[in-house]
Structures are given as C-alpha cells and as structure tokens.
Structure 1
Amino acid sequence: MSIRTRFTIWRPLATAATAALLATFLTPAAAQAAPRESQPVYSYENAVREAVWVDTGLDGDSDGKTDRVAVDIVRPREPAQQGRKVPVIMDASPYYSCCGRGNESQLKTYDANGNVVQMPLFYDNYFVPRGYAFVGVDLAGTNRSDGCVDVGGRSDIQSAKAVVDWLNGRATAYTTRSGTTRSKATWTNGKTGMIGKSWDGTIANGVAATGVKGLKTIVPISAISTWYDYYFSKGAPLYDSGPDWLSDYVDSPDARAKCAAVQQKLVDQAPRTGDWTPLWTERDYVKDASKVKASVFLIHGMQDLNVRMQHVGPWWDALARNGVERKVWLSQTGHVDPFDFRRATWVDTLHRWFDHELLGYDNGIDREPMADIERHPDQWVTSKSWPPRGTATTTLRPAEGTQEGVGTLGLAKGTGTETFTDNPALSETDWAAQIDTSTPDKAGFATGPLTKDLRLSGSSKVTVTATPTTSTAHLSAVLVDLGPDTIRDYGASGEGISTLTDRTCWGVSTTGDSACFKETQAKTAAVDYTVVSRGWADLGNHANPGKGVPLTPGKAYTITLDLGATDHVVPAGHRLALIVAGTDKDLIDPPSTTPTLKIDLSRTSARVPLVGGASAFAYATEGAATAVPEATPLEGVTAPRTVQRVPGGAE
C-alpha cells in the first residue's frame, strides 16, 4: 500500500530552547508581530496523556452516587513547563467504545495504566503539536463513564457541560473512576471549542444552548438541533424505533445493568403516535438559542437522509435572530464528514477557525464569505451571507395540466383537484422518474423549461388541503429539479464518497495512533432529475403539529409541511417540480390504513425561498404569470443580520 504524506514541508518539532533560538534570528518587528497561524512546534510523541473523571452532579443510574464521566486528554507537555496555558478542542461522544468514529470506525485504545493510546480521528495528531489540548469525553452510560444514556437529554448534555465547567475551575474531577484524589485543569485557560459529527455534534449544539461560560465555539457536523425532528415530522414517524433503541445501542455493560428505568422512560415519553411530550421539549435546543454565546461553524450534507436538513433551517435561523457569529458549509453528500469530501480545504479551514476563535489570531476568516456550497461534485461556490440577501419567499401554486400527466406550477392561483392513493412501496425517486406520466400514487406539477437559472436558498413550506378516504394519512412533499446532471451518489454506499486505499497524513503519528487516513473521492451518478428538498407530515396533526387525531373520511383538512433547507440552482433548460404524495418509502413509515387523498389545488401552495423572489421566478419562466405578487419575508431560514458576537463571549 503506497503512503502519501500531506505535508511536503514538516518543520522539526521544537523544544522551548529551539523556539527561543529561532526568535533571536527574527527582526524585532517580526518577533513582535501578531501570529496568524499556529505552528507544529510541540512534541506529539512526548505529549501528556491522562484521564480524569468529572463529577456531573447527576445520579442517572440511581446507585446513590453522582455520576462521573471519563475524560481522556492529550495535551502538549511544553506549555505547562513554560508556565503557559492552552485552549481545548473537545469531542464528547457515545461512540468511543461501541461503534467508532470516522470513516474507518476508529475506537479509543488504552495502555496498561488506562491512558489513551489511540484517540480516534486526526484532531489530536494535528492540533496538539500546534498548542491545543484535545479532550475526548465518554458520554454518561458509555465506555468508562457512569450513568445512563438519555439520548440528547439532561444526562447527555451535562456529561459534556460538566467537563467545560471543570476546564474553567467550576466542577470537580478525580484521577480515578471511584477514588477521592482530585485533579485540577491547571494547564488550560478554559477556552474550549467543541466539535463532532452526528450525535457528537448534537451534544455540541446542546451544550452551546446552555450558555455555559468558556465554550467559545462549536463545530457541529451533520448534527441534530431538536430530537423530535430526528424521529418524527409533524407526527409522521421517520424510523420504526425510538430513542430507547439508540440508547441501548451505545450503552456500556454497566449501563445496561443499571438503566432499565431510563430506558422505560424513553419508551413511555416518546410514543410512536408522534405526539409532542416533555421529553421532546427537554431535547429541543432551538428554543434555547438565545443562550448561545459560542460561535457556530455548521457543516451539513444537503442530501443527508439520516440527520435531515430540517435540523439546519430552524437552528440557523434562531442563531441569526440572536446575532451569533456563524459560518456554514453545505455539501452534496449524505451523512458524511468534511474530512472525507473536502479534506485539504477542511483541515486548513478548521485550523484557521480554531486559531481565530480559541487563540484570538486575526487571520481574516471572520471576514470571508459566510457560506461554502457544493454546486457540483467537488465544485464549490461561496456566498457572502446565507441565504444571500435578496432572497424572499415566493408562493408557487399548482394547477391541473392541460394534458395527461404533470400539472403546472406557477404564480397564478391553482384550480381543480388531483387524486392519488398512498403506495408505501414507492419513493420520491420513483415519483420523480414518472413525473410526466399520470400515475395513481402521486400528484405532480412542474414549470415549463426555465429560460434563466433559478436559485433556491433556504427552507420551503408546502401547504396542502386534502380529503382522505380513511382515518389515517401521511403526506410527503418534494421539490425536484427536472433535468440531466451529474451529482454525488448520496443514495449509494458511502453516501457520495468512495474510500480508496492510499493514505494521506494530517499531523504526527505514534506507534499506537496513526495520523494517516484512507483517501476518498466523490462517488457520482448521472441522473435525469435531482431531489432538491423534501418534507413529511401526518395529516392527523393538521390542527396541532404536536398532537395527532383520527381523521374523518370525506372531510377536507389543511396542513403545512416543513421542507428541509437547501441551496440549489435549477439551471436554464431544466424544470422545477412539486410532487405531493403519501408514504415516502424508506424515509417515513406508512399509516395504518391505505388512504386515497383528493388535493384541492386552489388551497394548495409551495412557499419557496428564491434569490430575487417572485420577480426572478417570473423572469426565469418568461413572465408566464399575469401578475407578479409582492414577495413576502423569507420564512424558515432568514437572511442573516449583521454578524456580531453575543456579549460575554449536537450516526
């Protein structure tokens, strides 16, 4: 296997003496100039590796003792010897022993003294030589921690928050799991940045929403912002299991023996009806966005069908309303880490972000465009703000077509009806492939071929008025770009990437912890259509998004579906389509009956965030509407305010 090294120039690791010698060769101006980038001047091989157990103040496993969470630390030895303190990069995860982290599913490994040998991912290898400590936290109930996993609840969040408190001198830690010898974090200045993908990034969101002091930035990758939206969409179940399954999946053997009561609570308070309960309120971080003091660098795949884009819009919008400093990357991938779809740029950008946020270096990253968006595989564009200014919600209305097959989609009010029967064997891609053919399982509507590019940027809402034939019904709404393209194959294994055999190295390796990882490349597919955004609902939740009721057959109901945020350009020559149907196979579960639904098109519409608003739509469709309605303020994801940091500072 060939090994390729990323760094063509790797500076010798310097001791304090060599650093001082280097300074003597600098001019006075150069020696005093403010640094713009941290350098790998500390020894990784000689780094301090230690473990502490932080008291969370909770007794989740009801054993009469407060739970302690295990914290594995890798930090440079030299700064403490020089009397200097370092900032912390932290990944709090339930996956360090059960499932692994990253594309290669790495686990923590330990030496005979119980100190970490391999820390998953590249963060410690890369950042410890640059003057950061890396901290890997086992969530309560996992690996070497006490307590119980409660899937995004108080125990999960307190597991990580308590560590931030300890790093800032506000909590107690011990040198062993059950001992009495205390350990103080005298080596850190308390400035902490949290990072992680999926559940790990979700914990970062949740801790930031507590407003804990000392947390300066978070980097949530493919992360949840409210757990209800992970399991349900307005009552429509997204998975055939609840949080109790996920908790059991990551529980340590100790937790499985002690946490039956917590498991039962996760069953009882997360009913499969999709009703909103206090359990979901506790796990809704969006409602507490006003407490966020940390900056946020958010990364998400626009085709992530695990943690779906519904988690991006409300969270981003709430952060914007509260003036939180933020940055975003939106890829064409599914549930994939940026290390595996844009590696070199990602490491460089993350390095500069942490240098700016944790070391205070003026490297200009805060003055760069807010958003990076993958427009085609490995082809990225930037946006000064996101969504871009000039974006406005435009109401598009479906209407019956003049010929068999697809209806029309435009600015004029729709007329007529469409009828379809739920078919749980079909999915959004099946519907899109048959958009121009009348089929009994969907209602489809499309513009004519566009004469100009049309950009969607933000979150859409689709309001549907439907009359069911049965007492239960689920709805799906899908926006589709109809036209040929080459996209990342997010539906295949790898969710848009292929893993290669060659490795590249990102930091310093030791015998037990390699900094070299398998390279990847884009896995692409040629398509005739691209699903841009989708959303779902249980029609029984028409009156209350958090409470479902039986339907009366033959009665019309109106409900609004929240579609995931996106940023997509429908190019000239393509068509924009709206599909309304029932069960979206593999994305929501079917209802208990098989309803036929009649859609009232005069009371059905899509509110779509278009750059340029209704005028841009009319221009792209050659003024097909007789009049251009006034654009309404953008809903869902809004145009951001001027960026300012709040005073004082979530597989």
Structure 2
Amino acid sequence: MAATIVAGVGASLVLSAAPASATGIPHVQGGQTVPVYSYENAVRESVWVQTRLDNDRDGVPDKVAVDITRPREAADRRIKVPVILEASPYYSCCGRGNESELKQYDANGVITKQPLFYDNFFVPRGYAFVAADLAGTNRSTGCMDVGGREEVLSAKAVVDWLNGRATATYADGTPAVATRWTNGRTGMIGKSWDGSVANGVAATGVEGLETIVPISAISSWYDYQRYNGVLRAEDYPEYLHQVVNGRPAGVCAATVEQLDSGSDDVTGNYNAYWAERDFRPDARKVHASVFIAHGINDTNVTTTQFAQWWQRLDVPKKIWLAQQGHVDPFDIRRAEWVDTLHRWFDRWLQGLRNGIDREPAATIETAPGTWVDERTWPASAAKTTKVALGDGDGMTGTLGGGSTAGSRTWTDAPDLSEAAAVASPGTAVPGRVSFLSAPLTRPVRISGTPTVTLRVQVDKPTTELTARLVDYGTATRVNYLGRGEGITTLATESCWGASTTADDACYRDTAEAVVTSDHAVVTRGWQDAAHHVSLRFVTPLQPGRWYSVTVPMQATDQRIAAGHVLGLILQASDNEYSTPQSTGATIRLDLRGSSLSLPLAGKLPVPGATAPVVTTSSPAPARVAPPRFQPLLP
C-alpha cells in the first residue's frame, strides 16, 4: 500500500492507505491523478538556468532563477513527472492572485512558499510545479524588455532545460539536471503578464511544451498599449519595466532607452519593436493545446487579445469566458475551475484519456451566475449583419432604416466622460452622436467582434474616433467596473490542496459583485483616423475630403433582452480608456456611407421613422480609476 494525502476543500493533511494503481504509477487511479505524495516532504530547490542571451551587457550569459516543488516519493521511485510552469515578473514586486502572494525563501535561499494553489494541489498528484523569474526580475539576471525577445526566450530556456537542451546550476555552482526527475512534458499557466509569456513561448514552437493555459493574457503587445494608433498611456513600456525590475540602478539603462525609442509614442505606428511582441503571426507554430480564460468585460487586457489569438490557433483548444473584468476564474467559479484545470492537465501532461478534449469547447457566462457550454466560439448562430445608420429625428439616429443624404456633425470634446457620453441618448450632448434600435421584440446575442465603418470629413490632419455599443434596459449585471472588477472578497476561506506551515492552500472566498442599472456599455472601440490605411504609417487626412474609417470594437459575447434598446454612441477622443491626443477636430459623418457590422444571433427589429425615447435615471457604473493608468498587474 502506498501512502496518500487526502487534501482538498477545507481538508487538512491526512495520511491514509491507498490501493496500488493498476497502471503501476501510484498517482494515477481511476483514470485521473490523485494525491498520493507528501506535499510537506516535497523536494524544494532553486536553480539558475543559463540562456544564450546577454542583454544586460555584462559579458556573461543571462540566467533565469527557477524555484521548484516536486514529489520526493516519485523521484525516489524513479518516476518522472510532468511540469506545470508559471513564468512571471511579479514574484517579488507585486505578488500573484487575489491576495498578492509573493515567493518566500528560508535563510539559505531555498523556496519555502510558492504563490497560488498550483503546487499545493498538483504536486501531491504527481506533478512538479516550477516558478521562473523572468529575465531582469527577482533573482534572475538580464533585463526585462516587456514582452520582447529576452522575456520570451528566458522562459523558453526553462522549457529547454526541463527537456535536457539547456544547462542549469544550483547556487553553489554544481550542475542541476532536470531530466533525472521530469519527463519534460510541460504545461505553462498564468494570468495577465504570466499568461502572455505562455502565449509567446508557445509561439516559438518549443518542443516539450504540451499545453498552455493563458488567463486574461496578451497576444499582441501593440494592441495592449495602442488602440489602432491611439495611445493608451505615455511611456507605458518604461513604466512596466520599472514596476518589475529587479536589477541594480543603471544596469538596464540601455534596455529602458530601447523601450522608449522602439515603442514610438509620437506616431503610434506598428513597427519592428511591436512586431517582435506580436505572437499572432506565429500561431501556426503552436503545437501545444490551449485553454484560454478571459473576462468578457476585461478593460485591462482587452478582449481582442484572446479573440484574435483563438481564431488563429489550429490546435486542440478550449475557452472560458466570464462576465467579469481582469479576474482569475479561480476567484469566479472556483470548484468548477479547479476540477476542469485538473482534468485538462491530466489529459495533456499525464496522457490520461478523460474525454475533456471531446467536450464542448466553450464555457460562457451569459448572466450573473448563469453558465452554458457551447460547441465553439463565437456562437455558430451569430452571422455578420450590416446595420445602416438612419436619419431619425435629425439629432438621434436609428440603427437600421434609411438616410436621405443625412449627416451628423460634432466637434471633439476630450473631457467628455463615458458616463456622460452614453447617458440619455435622446438628448443633445456636445461631442457625441447617438443611434438607437427599436425596442427589441425578441432577445438577440452579439457574439464576436463588432465594427463600425464611418464615412467622415475631418477639418484636421487626424482625429481619434471612439465607438461604444450600449444596452439600454434595466438588468442585474456583473459590476465589472467596480473595485473588484466583478468580484467581492469574503472573510471566509476554502482550501485547495495540501498545506505546510510555510505555504497553506487556503484562499479567501469570493462572490460575484452585481449591480442593477438601466444601461451598460457592451463593448468599445478606438481608431486613429490617420492610421485608416495602415497601422504601420500615418496617412494625414485632407480637410474637405471624404474618408471611410473602420473602427473595430472589442470582441464580446452579450445577450440583449427583449424590450431593451441597442445603442451606438460615437465620439472623438476618449479621456478614460486612452491618453487623448486631441486635435480639436470637427467631424462630419455621412450616414449613407456608414454602417455598423454586428456578429448577431437573431434580428434587430425594423426601426420606426424616429428613434425610441430612451432616458437613463441611474448612471452606468463608473470605473474606480481611469483604465489608462491601470498597470498590467495581478
């Protein structure tokens, strides 16, 4: 009989007898991995993996600090285990998870506490957990280049080491050989920046990386720091470098200069700097399976990041979409997430045929607490629907209907807030124009990426253009704009795995935060008009000339209830979700040459001659802080 650890929700560390596995592998029983190894007695060690890079220019190859927790009993029996790897810049500066956990070490510099539950839960089940400090952070050398070559290749080097293709040493300089205890099968996981690294490493096609689980992750750093030529925040790469930098003052000055010049705030162009940080063109190189999780209302790492990546991937894949913002599914739907993640890793790292790859690929939260499984995403029933912009009463236009040479004119109002722009769409508000559908006779679903094409005259060489889709109608919705981005942290705890005195597996419980409001923004989009030809260069507009400019909005999946009204709100620069470069332009919009494209399941009703009367008595929830100042933090 082998010893097993019984540990889970609210459980303590208990040793009990477990029957021998039919496979001969103690941690595989009944077609799944089970907790048979001691977490308290696990091997905990730190190694430094050598890379082929030297971007701190000290003449010595940069080294990645790697902290490992692995089952001792498996190693003693010469059972090689797969690896769950999280490569992060946050282990010493900012922490991981809802409780901002940091790595902790003993007096000898050996890891005693790994953030999050992955080691507590999976090590007893026959996995190793490996936490790597990205180049230039915590105990690693090199310099953090914010999504660039050094960052991605520093994490890739760890995968190479786990597969015997790179060298590493312990702190005393003696060799550390991973292939003595691992079979090299590696899965990368992480939220936000960590998940972005997983995307980047997968895009190298590195052998041994079998699966990735990117949570609220970036697939194009240009799209994270630019909205189609619109600047999100000034000096943002340099700021992010400063937040996570673990090197002495001045060591990384050359890298910071490269971040400043390469990112090119002045033009907003997509250039070689951004191409290096764009993983989407290399989606064809990905051979790892991919399990994406993202908040459909994430205004930090916006939804185009998962949508464009998902569409390009040609591998086994799965997706979870929640109504929250930048939130880990562990803090939304904890039990279901842990169970699904366990089955996913068992399938792709342990090789257990548990059927998860044959289940519906998409799990979507349609309303607070309501989840559905679907075959794929976007919804197969959603068809691209072109919606004309109608005249309406000459002030408030209609979605659908015709226009008799109608137009709208407005002047950029850079101080116009989102709340003011979307409120009471039937009234005159300087700096915005509005278009409304008729009240819906049946519910519809928007599933995918809406766009709006605007035929405009502009009296300046450029202007920023902002579009918002708004659901006008009272409903209880997830409060993703609140302080918790859709969750409330409770006083109670639940435990997910085994614990030690230094590293417990218990985390504060959470609940969905909801709000009842009579309208809410469904999705947003931004475009610099002078980038209407290409994001690679500026094409100044000539005053008096007509141009067609398409404003892509963020991908979404929302249901609009019967009786509600769908609204399109247009303005110029946006002072909340970007750093506006206002030119003070006046914009004339030709309605006949403009249209809204919706990925729509269902039909919008035929509009009347004028838009319905819509008033808002309660303000839409507002952000607790302007999103453009929101760093890419946990």
Q: State TM-score, norm by structure 1.
A: 0.89
- Equivalent position to 1:362, from 331, 348, 353: 353
Matched, 1:269 2:262: yes
Question: Given the superposition, is the C-alpha separation of residues 534 and 521 from structure 1 closer, same or farther in structure 2, using an over 3 Å criterion?
Answer: same
Find the partner of 2:369 among 364, 378, 387: 378
Separation (CA, whole Å) in 2 of partners of 1:262 and 1:210: 22
Q: How does 1:214-613 map to 2 (within 5 A)?
A: 214-254=208-248, 256-272=249-265, 273-319=267-313, 323-401=314-392, 403=393, 405-410=395-400, 415-611=405-601
Amino acid across the alignment from 1:440: P
Letter in 2 for 1:284: D
**CA contact 2:56–2:251 (8 Å) conserved in 1:** yes
Separation of aligned partners in 2, 1:414 and 1:210: 53
Render the CA deviation track for 1:81-112: whole Å, top value 9, x for unaligned: 11211010010000000111111111000012
Aligned to 1:67: 62
3-state SS, counterpart of residue 156 of structure 2: helix
Which ranges of structure 2 fall in alignment gaps of 5 or more residues?
1-6, 610-631
Partners of 2:81 and 2:439 in 1: how far apart?
A: 57
**Is the aligned partner of 1:122 residue 2:117?**
yes
Offset at residue 140 of structure 1 (A): 0.3
Match of 1:7 among 6, 9, 17: 9
Shift of 1:421: 1.9
Letter of the structure 1 residue corresponding to residue 36 of structure 2: V
SS of residue in 1 equivalent to 2:569: strand
Bigger Cα displacement from structure 2, 358-367 vs 167-176: 358-367
Percent identity between matched residues is 50
- For residue 180 of structure 2, what is the amino acid of its counterpart? T
Question: Match for 2:20 among 5, 20, 23?
Answer: 23
Separation in 1, partners of 2:581, 2:541: 12
- The 3 A distance-change label for structure 1 pair 34 and 112 is closer
Please state if 1:621 is matched with 2:576: no
Q: Which amino acid aligns with 2:493?
A: R
SS in 1 for 2:194: helix
Measured after TM superposition, the shift of residue 388 of structure 1 is: 2.4
| Alignment correspondent of 1:106 | 101
Question: Which one-letter code corresponds to 2:136 in the other structure?
Answer: G
Cα-to-partner distance string for 1:507-527 (whole Å, 9 max, x where unaligned): 111111111111111111111
Q: 1:452 to 1:62 in 2, by over 3 A?
A: same
Q: Is residue 408–residue 446 contact of structure 1 (8 Å, CA) maintained in 2?
A: yes
8 Å Cα contact 1:397/1:411 also seen in 2: yes
| Correspondence for 1:96 among 91, 96, 117 | 91
The answer to which of 560-569 and 389-398 deviates more is: 389-398
Pair 1:518–1:278, CA change in 2 (3 A): same
Q: By how many angstroms is 1:240 displaced? A: 2.7
User: Would the aligned equivalents of 1:310 and 1:562 in 2 still touch at CA under 8 Å?
Assistant: no
Q: Give the aligned CA root-mean-square deviation in angstroms.
A: 2.3
**Which residue identity is paired with 2:574?**
D
Cα drift, residue 183 of structure 1 = 3.2
In structure 1, give the amino acid aligned to 2:147: G
Q: Secondary structure at the match of 1:166?
A: helix
Pairs within 5 Å for 1:159-174: 159-174=154-169
The secondary structure found in structure 2 opposite 1:74 is strand
1:319-357: CA deviation from partner (whole Å, max 9, x where unpaired): 1xxx21111111111111111111111111111111111
Cα offset, 1:595, TM superposition: 1.6
Aligned equivalents of 2:59, 2:257: Cα separation in 1: 20
Measure, in 2, the Cα distance between the counterparts of 1:354 and 1:10.
24
1:444 aligns to what SS in structure 2?
strand
Return the alpha-carbon distance in structure 1 between the equivalents of residues 523 and 427 of structure 2.
21
What are the Cα deviations for residues 559-607 of structure 1, in whole angstroms up to 9, with x where unaligned? Answer: 1112111111111111122111112231022224222211111111121
Contact kept in structure 1, 2:10 and 2:494, CA below 8 Å: no
Q: Is the 8 A contact 1:235 1:547 kept in 2?
A: no
- Counterparts of 2:235 and 2:424 in 1: how far apart (Å)? 31
Where does the alignment leave 5 or more consecutive residues of structure 1 unmatched? 626-649
The correspondence for 1:133, drawn from 114, 128, 136, is 128
Q: Is the 8 A contact 2:438 2:606 kept in 1?
A: no
Write the letter of the residue equivalent to 2:97.
G
- Secondary structure of 2:477's counterpart equals strand
Q: Deviations over 1:591-646 (max 9, x none)?
A: 242222111111111211112xxxx32xx416989xxxxxxxxxxxxxxxxxxxxx
What is the alpha-carbon distance in structure 1 between the residues aligned to residue 567 and residue 271 of structure 2? 36
TM-aligned CA deviation for residue 550 of structure 1: 3.7
Find the aligned partners of 2:497 and 2:310 in 1 and give their Cα distance: 32
Aligned-partner SS, 2:179: coil
Comparing 203-212 with 459-468, which one deviates more in the overlay? 459-468
Amino acid at match of 1:258: V
| Contact preservation (8 Å) 1:472, 1:591 | no
Cα distance in 2 between the residues matched to 1:470 and 1:32 = 67
Tell me which amino acid in the other structure corresponds to 2:260.
Answer: V
Distance 1:549 1:519 in 2: 52
Amino acid at match of 1:264: E
Question: For 1:298 and 1:33, how far apart are their aligned partners in 2?
Answer: 26
* Cα distance in structure 2, aligned partners of 1:467 and 1:359: 59
